[in-house]
Amino acid sequence: MVNTEWTLVRGFKEKTLMSVVRKPITPKPPRTREKVLVILREQCKQCMLCIEFCPKNVLCLTDIYNRKGYHPVTACDIDACVNCEFCERICPDMAIFLADRKEAERAYKEGALEEGTEIPEFERDIPEKEEK
């Protein structure tokens, strides 16, 4: 014979424990990064230090040549960037860094960036640049 009282108590305990251990499944809000990654293609010397040190494998080399004859770095997976600044700190040529999002967006939209400046996130999200 089943002990109904014990089954109910055990069921209650399991339920309570489950609600403590298991967090509710809720969709995460979209992540907004405070800064944006900026690459100065003409300053890159293809040393690949940033690629090696990026903890999220965001960076890779392009197929194009810059004026120095190197393949500059680009972002192959910009969504994975966590703004850790490792790339900025390791780059010996200051060819890659993080910039304030709003300032960078304004400069990008106004077309005020130097030639060869790449902001991978904007290249994807803001297709139209205003001509100066």
Contact residues toward ligand SF4 (CB under 6 A) are 37, 44-50, 54-56, 58-59, 73, 81-87, 90-91, 93, 95-96, 98
Residue placing its CB nearer to ligand SF4 in the complex, 44 or 104: 44
**27 pairs with which residues across the strands?**
none
Query: Shortest approach of ligand SF4 to residue 17 CB, angstroms?
Result: 38
Residue placing its CB nearer to ligand SF4 in the complex, 51 or 107: 51
What is the amino acid identity at position 32? T
Residue with tokens 């040190």: 53
The helix or strand, by DSSP H or E, that contains position 20, with its residue range, turns out to be helix 4-21
**84 pairs with which residues across the strands?**
none
Residue placing its CB nearer to ligand SF4 in the complex, 56 or 124: 56
CA distance 79 to 75: 9
Query: Shortest approach of ligand SF4 to residue 42 CB, angstroms?
Result: 10
